[in-house]
């Protein structure tokens, strides 16, 4: 019989759709990011793990030198807000001797992220920025990198391509960031600065893993390609679902939704993965109810249902189906779920394909480090998919910085990355190889499933590869 659970969709998918609705954003302060990781965003359903950003952070003076460092020595703070509202997430408590020149190891290592952390898109990505800050704080608490403190600057483009381009230029030219890390972005904003970072040879290490992460030698994904992630999720459904009778609902607001539909149905990836496609339909993310689609899916014999949309839409679809006594299992790509998805009506046995390590259900040393850092610096909500994406991005950078030795520059980071061949970074990623053209694709995905109101990682930190 039908089961329960969510949609499979690339992160860029619903965030691209969210661009239609996104409000203005600014660079963020610590409190803003903490609220984003634990509270709702304007115009969306209030959910304990929404992870969205408010429409605006603090005022923007435009003065990059006006940043006032707060939180030094405060274990509950990873960043301080300056006059321009920019978040400089140095974090940690390395003692009163800390100053702008860093610790005895030398000047701070500056990294940063430009991403969509406010507006409806913030529900997907805010925890990615928070994870970067948690990593910086945790790293500094443990001596930094080579004795040097790390600073993590977070800038919110609000889904605006022009703002994203100017913020990227500021991060590189005014703050001299050695790398961009955990760029949780959408297609339009990433494309606005892709040419700039390529021309200036600025390494961009990890992010949302959307389809726009290609065609540049300085974009280093910490994950398989978007197409591989979608196919991998379909495989997880075929192997672990209660039924292979498959159907899907695709949002009309984004071209990314159409790409997923084309891949799974028109190009035949659902069938190749072992599923039995029975039904598909287009939906709007703004629909208050999905009764008609649920009835149609039920009549088509669908028992494994996917929804390409934001987590709120997935929950509303599941609720609509439950009201019709229709209980399909849901199959989702990681960007369409949150940590609390398993607590929603009809979603208790959801299956999820993850492009990086499962955000819950592991007990490996690498996961325990992530969990401890999140407990200290991640805010009040449980970590979800974006937290795992942000943390894995930061750990790839950390490994590259350590490999670069004493001379940490953009070029030395790029050279170090290109030395990784099939590297899994202690099980946090699929096997990654970085070459002159960026990240080589790898056909792997991690499995997660809902069980007893929580999450399970049935294969641990071993991805399914094909």
pLDDT in tens, 219-262: 999 999 999 999 999 999 999 999 999 999 999 988 888 999 99
Domain ranges of the chain: 13-224+367-442, 226-356+447-465
* Rounded-to-integer distance, Cα 337 and Cα 309, Å: 9
- Predicted confidence (pLDDT) at residue 36 exceeds the cutoff of 50: no
Q: What is the pLDDT of residue 195?
A: 97
Instruction: Name the token pair of 312.
Output: 């709120």
Which CATH number applies to 226-356+447-465? 3.40.50.2300
- The β-bridge relationship of strands 219-220 and 204-207 is parallel
Instruction: Name the token pair of 140.
Output: 């500094």
How distant, in Å, are the alpha carbons of 180, 404, 466 from that of 170? 12, 24, 41
- The answer to whether 178 and 153 have CB atoms below 8 angstroms apart is no
Q: What is the pLDDT of residue 8?
A: 36
Instruction: Name the token pair of 149.
Output: 């403190």
How buried is 166 (Cβ within 10 angstroms: 0-12 exposed, 13-18 middle, 19+ buried)? middle
Q: At CB < 8 A and 24+ separation, what contacts does 238-241 make?
A: 238/273, 238/274, 238/275, 239/274, 239/464, 240/351, 240/447, 240/449, 240/458, 241/3, 241/303, 241/304, 241/329, 241/331, 241/351
Predicted TM-score (pTM) of the model is 0.82
**In this structure, CATH architecture of domain 13-224+367-442:** 3-Layer(aba) Sandwich (3.40)
pLDDT tens, 144-155?
A: 999 999 999 999
pLDDT tens, 383-439?
A: 999 999 999 999 999 999 999 999 999 999 999 999 999 999 999 999 999 999 889
Nearest in space to 58 (alpha carbons), one of 91, 39, 30, 90:
30
pLDDT tens, 107-159?
A: 999 999 999 998 766 767 999 999 999 999 999 999 999 999 999 999 999 99
Q: Give the three-class secondary structure for 429.
A: strand
- The answer to whether 254 and 17 have CB atoms below 8 angstroms apart is yes
Indicate the average pLDDT of the chain: 82
The angle subtended at Cα 349 by Cα 287 and Cα 286, nearest 5°, is 10
Two domains, one topology: 13-224+367-442 and 226-356+447-465: yes
């Amino acid at each position: 019989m039908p089961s329960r659970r969510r949609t499979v969709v690339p992160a860029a998918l619903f965030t691209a759709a969210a661009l239609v609705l996104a409000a203005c954003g600014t660079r963020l302060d610590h409190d803003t990011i903490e609220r984003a990781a634990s509270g709702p965003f304007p115009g969306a359903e209030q959910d304990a793990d929404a992870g969205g950003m408010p429409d605006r952070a603090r005022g923007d003076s435009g003065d990059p030198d006006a940043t006032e460092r707060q939180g030094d020595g405060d274990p509950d703070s990873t960043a301080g807000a300056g006059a321009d509202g920019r978040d400089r997430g140095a974090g940690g408590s390395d003692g009163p001797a800390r100053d702008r020149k860093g610790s005895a190891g030398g000047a701070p290592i500056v990294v940063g992220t430009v991403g969509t952390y406010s507006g409806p898109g913030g529900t997907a990505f805010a925890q990615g920025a928070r994870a970067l800050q948690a990593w910086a704080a945790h790293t500094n608490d443990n001596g930094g990198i080579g004795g040097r403190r790390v600073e993590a600057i977070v800038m919110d483009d609000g889904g605006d391509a022009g703002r994203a381009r100017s913020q990227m230029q500021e991060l590189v030219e005014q703050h001299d960031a050695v790398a961009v890390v955990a760029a949780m972005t959408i297609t339009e904003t990433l494309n606005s600065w892709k040419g700039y970072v390529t021309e200036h040879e600025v390494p961009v290490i990890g992010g949302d893993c959307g389809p726009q992460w290609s065609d540049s030698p300085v974009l280093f994904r910490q994950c398989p390609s978007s197409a591989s992630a979608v196919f991998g999720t379909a495989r997880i459904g075929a192997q672990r679902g209660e039924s292979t009778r498959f159907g899907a609902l695709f949002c009309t607001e984004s071209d990314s939704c159409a790409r997923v539909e084309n891949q799974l149905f028109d190009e035949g990836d659902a069938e190749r993965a072992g599923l039995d496609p029975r039904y598909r339909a287009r939906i709007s993310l703004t629909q208050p109810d999905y009764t008609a689609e649920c009835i149609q899916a039920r009549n088509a014999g669908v028992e494994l249902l996917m929804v390409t949309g934001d987590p709120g839409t997935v929950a509303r679809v599941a609720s609509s189906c439950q009201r019709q006594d229709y209980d399909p299992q849901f199959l989702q790509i990681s960007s369409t779920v949150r940590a609390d998805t398993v607590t929603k009506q009809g979603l208790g046995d959801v299956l999820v394909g993850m492009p990086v390590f499962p955000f819950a259900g592991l007990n490996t040393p690498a996961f325990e480090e992530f969990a401890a850092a999140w407990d200290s610096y991640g805010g009040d909500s449980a970590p979800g998919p974006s937290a795992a994406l942000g943390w894995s991005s930061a750990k790839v950078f950390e490994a590259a910085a350590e490999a670069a030795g004493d001379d940490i520059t953009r070029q030395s980071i790029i050279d170090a990355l290109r030395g990784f061949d099939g590297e899994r970074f202690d099980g946090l990623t699929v096997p990654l190889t970085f070459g002159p053209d960026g990240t080589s694709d790898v056909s792997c995905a991690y499995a997660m499933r809902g069980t007893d109101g929580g999450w399970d990682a049935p294969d641990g930190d071993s991805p399914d590869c094909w």
